[in-house]
């Protein structure tokens, strides 16, 4: 299917969705602390989504049971919130959330530190987030999709990190997942031309060790095969004539 082009008024609707999602993320961030469980984060998100009159994009998606994905330490993505065991000092927790407002989706993820991190883990978060912004800088009219992919890969592999291959970013709009698929690796200068009105969920998933991941028996939780820490940052970004427009900022 062709990559959809959104009108200015559709992008404004997606911005409204993105602002709601930002408020959900702020509420979750305020709940991250030593001793909290990932189910505490889920409850904070559920309450805020309801208060905003928004709808979860995740709950019920392929029977997914929660509004958040909460992925701790060596969990890469799609961790399911639970009440078994609390967050501990030095942990990291990736929080991924999507909402629907007035029919438009937004999708955003952030990896939070829990208390003080070791320098190596702090650096993983810093570099992964920086790679997201390097990628966003390439979301410009006239560029190519591969420029975005390559920006993530170049920055993260330069630090010796593993760039996850099995999961990718995506177009987003009236559905959570639209064309194109957006890998976090690949050559610059290749792929579809970027046009004003394309909206992309850009989401580097980066491992401190090798790129290899496997999915646990719950059918959802992806973990690093070497047990190394993994970080995930995501924004929903519109490509406009004026440059990249981060809808979930």
Chain residues in the site for ligand MF3 (CB under 6 A): 58, 61-62, 64, 69, 78, 96, 98, 107, 201, 203
Measured CA to CA, the distance from residue 140 to residue 239 in angstroms comes to 6
Please check whether residue 114 is in contact with residue 147, taking contact to mean a CB–CB distance below 8 angstroms. Answer: no
Least Cβ distance, residue 191 to ligand MF3 (angstroms): 19
Query: Which CB sits closer to ligand MF3, 117 or 183?
Result: 183
| Contact flag: residue 46 with Co ion (CB under 5 A) | no
Binding partner of residue 64 among ligand MF3, Co ion, none, CB under 5 to 8 Å per kind? Answer: ligand MF3
Least Cβ distance, residue 89 to Co ion (angstroms): 29
| Contact flag: residue 107 with Co ion (CB under 5 A) | yes
Query: Which CB sits closer to ligand MF3, 91 or 203?
Result: 203
Please check whether residue 174 is in contact with residue 105, taking contact to mean a CB–CB distance below 8 angstroms. Answer: yes
- Calculate the CA 79 to chain-centre distance: 13
Measured CA to CA, the distance from residue 231 to residue 77 in angstroms comes to 9
Measured CA to CA, the distance from residue 199 to residue 170 in angstroms comes to 9
Binding partner of residue 69 among ligand MF3, Co ion, none, CB under 5 to 8 Å per kind? Answer: ligand MF3
Binding partner of residue 40 among Co ion, ligand MF3, none, CB under 5 to 8 Å per kind? Answer: none
Binding partner of residue 104 among Co ion, ligand MF3, none, CB under 5 to 8 Å per kind? Answer: none
Bridge partners (DSSP) of residue 71 are 94
Query: Which CB sits closer to ligand MF3, 40 or 96?
Result: 96
DSSP state of 37: -
Report whether the peptide linkage leading into residue 180 is cis, meaning its omega lies within 30 degrees of zero: yes
Least Cβ distance, residue 109 to Co ion (angstroms): 7
| Phi and psi, residue 36, nearest 5° | -75, 150
| Contact flag: residue 178 with Co ion (CB under 5 A) | no
Least Cβ distance, residue 116 to Co ion (angstroms): 29
Two tokens at 109?
């993820």
Binding partner of residue 245 among ligand MF3, Co ion, none, CB under 5 to 8 Å per kind? Answer: none
Label the pairing between strands 222-224 and 75-77. antiparallel
Instruction: Among 201, 202, 206, 231, indicate the residue that binds Co ion (CB under 5 A).
Output: 201
CA dihedral 180, 186, 188, 193 (to 10 degrees): -10
């Amino acid at each position: 299917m062709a990559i959809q082009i959104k009108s200015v008024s559709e992008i404004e609707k997606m911005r409204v969705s993105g602002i709601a999602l930002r408020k959900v993320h702020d509420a979750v961030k305020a709940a991250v602390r030593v001793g909290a469980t990932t189910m505490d984060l889920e409850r904070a998100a559920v309450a805020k989504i309801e208060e905003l009159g928004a709808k979860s994009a995740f709950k019920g998606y392929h029977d997914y049971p929660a509004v958040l994905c909460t992925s701790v330490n060596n969990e890469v993505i799609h961790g399911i919130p639970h009440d078994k065991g609390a967050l501990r000092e030095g942990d990291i927790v990736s929080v991924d959330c999507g909402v629907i407002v007035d029919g438009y989706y937004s999708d955003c993820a952030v990896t939070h530190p829990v208390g003080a991190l070791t320098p190596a883990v702090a650096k993983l978060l810093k570099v992964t987030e920086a790679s997201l912004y390097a990628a966003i800088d390439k979301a410009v009219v006239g560029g190519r999709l591969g420029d975005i992919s390559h920006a993530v890969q170049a920055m993260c592999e330069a630090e010796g990190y593993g760039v996850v291959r099995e999961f990718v970013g995506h177009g987003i709009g009236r559905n959570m997942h639209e064309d194109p698929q957006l890998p976090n690796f690949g050559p610059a200068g290749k792929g579809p031309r970027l046009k004003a009105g394309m909206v992309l969920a850009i989401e580097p998933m980066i491992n401190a060790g090798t790129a290899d991941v496997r999915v646990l028996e719950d059918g959802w939780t992806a973990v690093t095969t070497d047990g190394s820490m993994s970080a995930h940052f995501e924004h929903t970004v519109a490509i406009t004539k004026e440059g990249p427009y981060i809808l979930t900022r």
